[in-house]
Amino acid sequence: MSQLPPGVDLIATRPDAAALIPAGAEARTITVTLGPGDPGAPPHRHPGPIFGYVIQGELLFELEGERPRVLKAGDTLFEPGGDTIHYRGANNLTDSPTLFLVIMFAPPGTPILTVVSEQEQAERRHLRFS
């Protein structure tokens, strides 16, 4: 890769990204602000891949099949979207907000997220990291 100009930093790359983006997808830029201790959305999935960056705070992040981890300001995140369940995206701090930015690639008109039923979570429990 060629040298970047001053003030430009490459934070993360995802070599398989093109294969994960649905045909005809639109790019959506989304910010999420979680208040102190906010548990975030219930378990859900997204219609396409998400690339994200934690701007402020700490995000407790868990995807199906992966160990839960804490992402701090400056860390990046990735979700493949589609069938993968996003179990947690919670503010890990009880005394300050957490803010992160995501870029989602999804078919036009699809919802940003779809909540996964408790029954489906139970059926897929074996896929969750334990």
- Model confidence pLDDT, tens digit, residues 51-108: 999 999 999 999 999 999 999 999 999 999 999 999 999 999 999 999 999 999 999 9
Does the pLDDT of residue 18 top 90, yes or no? no
**Average of pLDDT values for 106-118?**
97
- Per DSSP, what are the bridge partners of residue 54? 100
Assign 115 to helix, strand or coil.
strand
Domain boundaries, the chain: 29-127
Give me the chain's average pLDDT, please. 96
pLDDT for residue 59: 98
pLDDT for residue 105: 97
- The answer to whether 124 and 52 have CB atoms below 8 angstroms apart is no
pLDDT for residue 1: 56
- pLDDT level of residue 17 (50, 70, 90 thresholds): confident
pLDDT for residue 47: 96
**Average of pLDDT values for 114-130?**
96
Cα gap 17→72, rounded to integer Å:
23
Assigned CATH class of 29-127? mainly beta
Range name among 11-15, 26-30, 87-91, 116-120 with the lowest pLDDT average: 11-15
**Chain-centre distance of CA 122, in angstroms?**
22
Range name among 11-25, 28-42, 58-72 with the lowest pLDDT average: 11-25
